[in-house]
Structure 1
């Protein structure tokens, strides 16, 4: 039976033995576990032993750019890599096959230099590589594809580094045929016609796009200097015009997408620098990086944040975890919880950028003071004492992002309960549904089909807010399961829930529905929860740092807002109930059955915490 939209093949690579195999999954498996991190979660749960770690719970990293499209054209839907090579290697996908090639000469190169070397050797190709940070096993090292597109947040670069896998390279290939070309063409044409009509997509499309998000967000909605304040005196340094002087390229980030939300920015505004970045397609910028490396460190100008973003891309560092590890260290230093000797006399203070660059290089190579900061803020705090631990703003070991949970209670619930920790794109934000000043007033237009019918205060901590978050996160979870971009999708962007179902139908020929789309999203979240429970995470890990409960927002329209422990705990309890979990956050037997996951019940019994209590 011919397959459309995918080839149904999983590539298995064992780096310890060099063995490469191809597995063809059956049609039922593809229908249940569609792809993306839904399929990935199922493979992790069934193919790994409990307690393997790789930083504990479930890990997910994704990136924009052309690499994903190239992978689809390589002949494989998924890659599974296990084991460890004795010497550095790269995995080459070409001609529908795969091979391991030596990468000794690539080891030590930054991610941009790796692209140069491989293209000189192989010709035109797409490259996902680690930099020195991944080689040094920095716990927040990431993978960067084609110079500009980072897959951050979960330390995947360190995992590749531990395996001595320097890069995955794709040369050539052909995309699988869709089931209904005409339907795909119609959907694509409709999307393109609405780019300048939809206000959010238009903002993403027009330069500088995501780069200027801070100016749009306003005071009080994002954290400054490790969230010790919400006031930021240098907002003018991050207006759109501040970014435009650094703009190098603004189109073609993701093949075929007319939105072009990812754009490239040079680290300086020098004409020659901008030209080099443009010619090499470097400097891809994501909105999170600006906040974490700019106002979070007290830096007054966009150019300072862009210089740090450039180093993160080259060294292969997650800009968000790096930014909040540095801001943690800066606050500890200013409070006297760390000495100058702890940082080898590097002047570490909010608002200083010159020596921060030096420290980042040391982190990436685990040199001197960079060694203990390379483990992230939570582990670094163990070195400095209990008071310092209160300044390490992490959930499930992952540093927070700059969006303030005190300003958006649904997002706060997501930060606390999401299987991978505080990622800002876990669901559409509360600000879009605020009853006083919604960020995007058209949000309800595509939300009613999700069961969201009204506006409410962004910071309201209520059962209704938990209900809304549950359905919004389930929808965006479905997008991750299908590899559909959330920055193109509802509630505030163009693709509706029905559009997503239509895309799947046109690509695969499956007679699918919006109901099935949502079930994919729910199944992904349930599988991730099961994996985390197996690895020893419990309901106690579904929380937020004390700062967000004890210290109120000190500037802006939400002045005085903070999380209330009782109300927030009640939101978590409501969310558990909506997800079909018991009071311990464990999926009930009925929930497993409803999501075709009853086979996973034995995995719950493998948990490293007591499972002797009945599954209520």
Structure 2
């Protein structure tokens, strides 16, 4: 059974319902978003978990936040790590849908009464101008509480605002903080019943097997060990890294970067970030001893983007910038770009400099360097041409984790020496060269995208996932069987990925997006990489279009959404009709 709680910001009413989900193990957030859009609703935000998410097992600490993006006008989704998924599980919830607009700044509390989750709407007990950390501190009663909030810019509707969970787990793209502001939702506080979740024997074995294999895999070892996967820039990565706002040259930030320079600022090795996951990706770094440890969580779009794109060379400033974006509730990519445009560099008031820059340049450099209105992660589509196709076609914008990065299959990588790596995903023996998009990539693009899309639907973090890390598709399928008791195999993961993308594609169609939005900026077709082993490379238009056409065909897409009469179009319609019956009266 699936349990969904709907809470209205306009009326304070809420409703919780248990029902048989019409799409077993399917993408709850995407199907619910489609149902609300099909009903004509636009003010909603969905927080959901996949069937595995929240359990104490490797890679399962990820939830999804979904809403209409003020940046694209289409749907945005953000994978949020930490304890949010675990809290949803403890509350007995698969999804929380918040809808409507409150008449004044408000807070929403979710707790359990008589063994059922309940929602309580209240006038905000904190000032709307309060930062993320101050809001969290004012509300928190227990270390187990989960608090999601945004800052002053978010409450003012700034499109670069983020939602930040537990001080340092943000929505990286899509402007979801502005959705909080539009709904007059200053904070969401979730408090579950006491008691720790214990792993099942299957979960314990899968986690132990993964942990024992980390040291034997250079990639997983580099993620777990300090300085960690968030501090990745290096001069030899020009062309892979989006240096100097995609100039294609080695700037000072890329040339002088060393992860070891950040070790004096280390606060946590990542073991406190995601309960039950030995991969321990999300390290914390800080310069302010009074700041919360989670306030320094380093994700891949924070410190490294400030270095590679913004040419910052001072580790102290980079660590401070990363933490301040969390505290202000603003997206790191947007803040970095606006700072570069404004020339603001006030060390004594970096927070003020970020706010002033975002106020002056709310859309950064503008549409010419955006995909679906969103800032592009610092991974150059000319070097990562497979990833670039994913950036362009992904319905929810250029997520940096839309599919495995091209560099992970580059023939020079040490893990490519491992026997058979990536072969089941269409990767040929010896890997694929960076900066290419020939026809031999098409099948691998399909399988890699569908696999990671399926993992998104199931609630599995890609940074513990196959093909280059130590979870495998069969082990993920085993975890699904373990928590659901239903038959499920590794090929079903691809099917979940396909139907998830179908729902997201159709959501965008309802919002007016079409194939004209599935493009890269002209810069990547016209301006070659200037330096390094990829010098001279651009994205060939014909090769890009051939890859896009191939993916449209295998995904059942056409220029305006889903191909009429296609099996996936029929499935989306059928599920939506069933949800309409199951959720009757729940759209409050």
**Residues 293, 357 of structure 1: alpha-carbon distance in 2 compared, 3 angstrom cutoff:** farther
- Decide whether the 8 Å contact of 1:141 with 1:158 is kept in 2: yes
Show the counterpart of 1:477: 453
Name the residue aligned to 1:403. Answer: 379
The corresponding residue for 2:89 is: 72
- Supply the distance in 2 between the matched residues of 1:249 and 1:228 (Cα, whole angstroms): 34
Q: Which residue of 2 aligns with 1:114?
A: 135
Alignment of structure 1 residues 445-456 onto 2, 5 Å: 445-454=420-429, 455-456=431-432
Question: Pick from 349, 352, 361: which aligns with 1:373?
Answer: 361
Change (3 A) 1:571 1:353: farther
SS in 1 for 2:557: coil
* 1:580-595 equivalence runs, <5 A: 580-582=556-558, 584=559, 586-593=561-568
Deviations 1:15-60 (A, max 9, x none): 111101112231434x16353x444444444444489965311110
Match of 2:433 among 457, 462, 486: 457
State how far apart, in whole Å, the 2-side matches of 1:15 and 1:581 are. 35
| Cross-structure match for 2:581 | none
Q: More strand by proportion, 1 or 2? A: 2
Residue 189 of structure 1 is aligned with which of 196, 203, 208?
208
Distance 1:325 1:305, change over 3 A: same
In the TM superposition, 1:60-209 aligns within 5 A as 60-95=77-112, 96-119=117-140, 125-173=145-193, 181-209=200-228
Task: Tell me, yes or no, if the aligned pair for 1:13 and 1:81 is still in contact at 8 Å.
Answer: yes
Shift of 1:144: 0.9
- Please list every run of 5 or more consecutive structure 1 residues that lacks an aligned counterpart in the other structure: 331-346, 364-369, 379-388, 603-616
Give the Cα separation in 1 of the matches to 2:217 and 2:177: 36
Match in the other structure for 2:266: 247
In 1, the alpha carbon distance for the partners of 2:143 and 2:557 equals 52
Q: Which has the higher helix share?
A: 1
Report the equivalent of 2:74.
57
Name the structure 2 match of 1:596. Answer: 571
Q: CA deviation at 1:595?
A: 6.9
Say which of 347, 353, 356 aligns to 1:359: 353
1:535-592 Cα offsets, whole Å, 9 max, x none, are: 111211111111111111111111111112222222212221222234x264223433
1:16 is matched with which residue: 6, 10, 18? 10
| Mapped partners of 1:190, 1:289: distance in 2 | 31
- Determine if contact 1:299/1:353 at 8 Å carries over to the other structure: no
For 1:494, what is the secondary structure of its paired residue? coil
Indicate how the Cα distance of structure 1 residues 285 and 40 shifts in structure 2: closer, same or farther if over 3 A, else same: farther
- 1:256-301 per-residue CA deviation (whole Å, 9 max, x = no partner) reads 11111001111x3xxxx3x434x64321111221232223112112
CA distance in 2, matches of 1:310, 1:163: 26
Name the counterpart of 1:310.
323
* Equivalent residues of 2:295, 2:327 under 8 A apart: no
Residue 309 of structure 2 is aligned with which of 279, 286, 296?
A: 296
- Structure 1 residue 213, shift from structure 2 partner: 0.8
**Is 1:276 matched up with 2:307?**
no
SS in 2 for 1:220: coil
1:357 Cα deviation after fit: 4.7
TM-score (norm 1): 0.82
Q: 1:287 aligns with which of 290, 296, 300?
A: 300
Q: Which runs of 5+ in 2 are unaligned?
A: 45-67, 578-588
Could you tell which deviates more after superposition, 449-458 or 515-524?
449-458
